Amino acid sequence: KAGVTQTPRYLIKTRGQQVTLSCSPISGHRSVSWYQQTPGQGLQFLFEYFSETQRNKGNFPGRFSGRQFSNSRSEMNVSTLELGDSALYLCASRPTAERSIEQFFGPGTRLTVL
Amino acid sequence: GQQVMQIPQYQHVQEGEDFTTYCNSSTTLSNIQWYKQRPGGHPVFLIQLVKSGEVKKQKRLTFQFGEAKKNSSLHITATQTTDVGTYFCAGAAAGGGADGLTFGKGTHLIIQP
């Protein structure tokens, strides 16, 4: 089985712009979670989607949003980018939304905001 | 909200020495997972602990879940250079809830040959 894929792998944007990141889960996985990873804050949970519905949400401002499509692919969007949004954005998939099941992480998208 | 503290933040060891990282949750957990992230890589699932007092072993790695299900540890015996990376614990709060997994900030293991 192919692993979790994320596009693009690297992205450079300027303050005020918006960005859309894409995640394709492992085939058959219906849950996709997004995380922001920074050296200072570590891995922080953004949100989780399951069957096209947002199931859980972390403590991030409304500039961070996401969605999931019927084929389980997911996108996250960050509007009005700030310098502090520079981070590695990871998505992770699992077969169901059951939290006791391991997550499979993608390689991440490295976002740099100038 | 739920907080998961992990210590130490960094650990330097000589190759062959043992290594331990500790994880403490502010709330009782339903389960705890451990992940390893190699430099430049992404987190990879190692193991999950569910039962109070559970101990699991994977070769040189020993994982423990506390009796109160609020703390956990990962111990590596006789470290090797392939053990280099950041080890994260991730907990799910007991009783359900709207939060996803909460990750500790990780312990960076640096091994000197």
The token pair at B3 is 């907080």
Average pLDDT over residues A4-23: 97
The CA distance from A47 to A20, in Å, is 15
A98 to chain B, closest Cα gap in Å: 10
The CA distance from B105 to B9, in Å, is 8
Mean pLDDT over all residues of chain A? 94
Mutation target for B interface from A102, A109, A110: give the one with most B CBs within 10 A.
A102
pLDDT of residue B93: 79
Q: Is the peptide bond prior to B113 cis by the omega test (within 30 degrees of 0)?
A: no
Task: Locate the chain A residue with the closest alpha carbon to B47.
Answer: A102
Whether the predicted pLDDT of B90 surpasses 90 = yes
Asked if A56 and B100 come within 8 Å (Cβ–Cβ), the reply is yes
Residue-wise pLDDT tens digits, A42-92: 899 999 999 999 988 888 999 999 999 999 999 999 999 999 999 999 999
Least confident among A16-30, A53-67, B49-63, B92-106:
B92-106
Question: How does A50-81 read in b/e, with b if 16+ C-beta sit within 10 Å?
Answer: beeeebbbbebeeebbbebeeebbbbbebeeb
DSSP 3-state of A95: coil
Residue-wise pLDDT tens digits, B35-85: 999 999 999 999 999 999 999 999 999 999 999 999 999 999 999 999 999
Q: Which residues of chain B make contact with A43, given a CB cutoff of 8 A?
A: 43, 88, 90, 103, 105-106
Asked if A41 and B30 come within 8 Å (Cβ–Cβ), the reply is no
Q: Band the pLDDT of A100: cuts 50, 70, 90.
A: low
Whether the predicted pLDDT of A98 surpasses 80 = no
Counting residues of chain B whose pLDDT is more than 90, the rounded percentage is: 85
The CA distance from B82 to B74, in Å, is 16
The CA dihedral of B79, B85, B86, B91, to the nearest 10 degrees, is -70
Q: Which residues of chain A make contact with B102, given a CB cutoff of 8 A?
A: 45
Task: Locate the chain A residue with the closest alpha carbon to B49.
Answer: A100
The CA distance from A35 to A47, in Å, is 7
Whether the predicted pLDDT of B97 surpasses 60 = no
DSSP 3-state of B82: helix
pLDDT of residue B96: 57
Asked if B50 and A100 come within 8 Å (Cβ–Cβ), the reply is yes
